[in-house]
Structure 1
Amino acid sequence: MKQALLFTLLFAFLIQINGLSIFTDSSGNSSSLLDINDPESKNTDVFRQLLNQETIIRMSLVKNVHALMKDMLDLKKSMATMETSQQKTDVEVATLKQEVDKLKRENQRLELENRRYEETFRAVTENFTKVDEHIQQVMEELEEKRERFETNTSAVLADLKVEVRYLSVTLLDLNKHTLEIDKKFPEMMQEKFKQLSLRLNTSVENLNNDIITTNKTMLQSVSDLENSQNMIQNSISVNISKTLDDMMAEVKQSKYDQLQLSSSVSSLEVFRMNLTNNLLDKPKKVAFSASVRSSSSSWNSGALVFSSVITNEGNGYNPSNGIFTAPIGGMFVFFVNVQTYGSKDIYVDIVLNGSRKVRTMAYGSSGSYSAGPNMVVLTLQRRDAVWVKHYHGSGYYYDGPITTFSGFLIDM
């Protein structure tokens, strides 16, 4: 519609331009050219001037038409921009309509919630009214109870006044009696203290005498027990030796060949020696030393196993699990030394039956190795277990027997 309007305006301007050209014919040739032989050649100048004016007017009109065409193009661009703006406006209007619809729905929802709140508020108001009425009833009941309490309190107070008078008299008598006791109390306490001191001294003397008598009795009993034990051990040893000698004599008289006889005699002699040692002597040499076999940079838990045995007198140390089990009871000395793996840190503990006793630490530094030694003295019972356990850090170093675990029995 807009383009048609623009074309109509352009056509009207063109018609006006053609209509103004009154001095030209339909072929476009100028009609101002006059015949020289025309009697009216005198008016040539006038026509020439008119022709010049027409040419000027045409040129002006052409300029105006070009300007008009430019304005029409600008108008078309403006109209296209207006159409784009109109589309954007339509989109915004649609968006606004959607927002309005949402707001309407939200308003409806809020109205519903407002109605619910109003109903709830109405119910709460009714409840408050009921509670207020109940409170008024309770206040009336409390007022009645208070009046009854005041009446009863008056009667009770009268009775209390009478009781207080009786108590005052009783307290006066008690005060007199207390004053008399206060006068006699120091003498009574002094007498009681003397009696208690005498009894305590007597009891202490009797207890000392009993302790002395008991010590003498216990010493005598221990001495008798040791003598009895020695006699029993000697008797057992003599009997076993005699029995074994008889058995050896019988074996020598048997019909076995010489090889079997020698083997039996040797076995019996070894058995007699072992049995005699077990009955008469306790093993007193218990000692061990062990080392790791290789380095480790990742060891970080459990027992540290020193699998390379150096000494194991008494066979108390187990190189497969790193645990020393006491073959006899007594006082033992244990020593551990752990070498760090490079710059790593390592902390280990010497433990007795799982209980940590002492700890050693080797703190590594850049480019060097560090040693962590420590020693402990422990009193063990037979079958107590001692081992080295990880506490913190990781790794240990091996360059021969440098990371070691040792222990020995102190011969008291």
Structure 2
Amino acid sequence: MNQKLVYPLMFTFLIGSFGFSVLTDNSDNSTNLLDTSDLDAKNMDVFRQLLNQETIIRMSLVKNVHALMKDMLDLKGSMETLKSSQQNTDLEINALKEEVDKLKRKNQRLELENRHYEENFQAVAENFTKIDEHIQQAVEQLDEKRQHFETNTSALLADLKVEVRYLSVTLLDLNKHTSKIDESIPVMIQEKYEQLSLRLNTSVENLSNDIMTTNKTMVKSMSDLENFRSSIQTTISVDINKTLDELMAEVKQSKYDQLQLSSTVSSLEVFRMNLTNNIFGKSKKVGFTASVTSSNTSWNSGTLVFPSVITNEGDGYNQHTGIFTAPSDGMYVFFVNVQGYDKQPIYVDIVLNGSTKVRTMAYSSTGTGDYYDAGPNMVVLTVQKGDAVWVKHSSGKGYFSSGSITTFSGFLI
């Protein structure tokens, strides 16, 4: 195809390069000199016109030749581009051929698999045929069993009807017996309740008596402690006064002058007064006992307040807050007894300035029949003036009160 285009172009180029005018007899006469001696003036003008036209034609041919040469160069570049495209096309064709080969091989594998699947489908179809045959046999067997079951069921239903009749009669008798039991249950419950109430009241009375006896014993013990403290204080005070009197007598008999004697006597008097009043001569007594006024089944947090004040010597206990504030320094004894309500456990602490010191509990053990257990405890504390002591909740809930059972006490040793 490219050669067919090249040959006409070369032919045109040759014509443009060597094609001379017929009027010049195929000779290249650039000077355009003609023998005009025998021509007349008219022929001369015609000849000149023809010559000018020939020149114009030659110039046009040259111009066309140059244009053709340029087109040939462009055509040559296009041919090279076509050659490159042809190579790329060949490569793509080769790649496509390889893809086609791969697809052919894949198609062959698929055909083999398809044959395998067709064989499997045929085997499955045969299996389905066998299954249909088995199902038909199973249906026939089920029909036979159903007929046999219906026959047996009819006999069973007849037997069940007879049993239901006997059961109805039995239920009627049971209903009558249950009615009698229902009538007797309230009477039994009432009897049990009365017996339990009697036992409970007896246990509470015994417990109250035991607590009163314990409280009396503790009050007597506290009184004995106070008398013992007073006697010791008196003995020590007498011994100190006696010793100081002897010292003062010895000083008066010495050889010091009167001024020094008076100063020494005054110092001894001050020493005796301070020693007696500040250490051994505490005449102010401190002690309190308070109790709750009623039972509470739901108390479960905060400070346990004892509003009923029995004794409050020194005005240290506050019946509104339940807190004892020490009016003076010293060694104090504190006692608490909390009575649990029914079977409810209760745990309380004696605290000093918010710090727990001792704990007590009232915990009833179910199954023994003894309720309203008591939880007493006592602690001896070194207390500074202004320190606070109270009873606070630890765990559990509620407390019992019958008289002065749940109490809080304390006194200065």
The TM tier, using the shorter chain, reads: 0.3 to 0.5
TM-score (norm 2): 0.45
Bigger relative contact order (CA 8 A; separation at least 6): 2
User: Larger radius of gyration, structure 1 or 2?
Assistant: 2
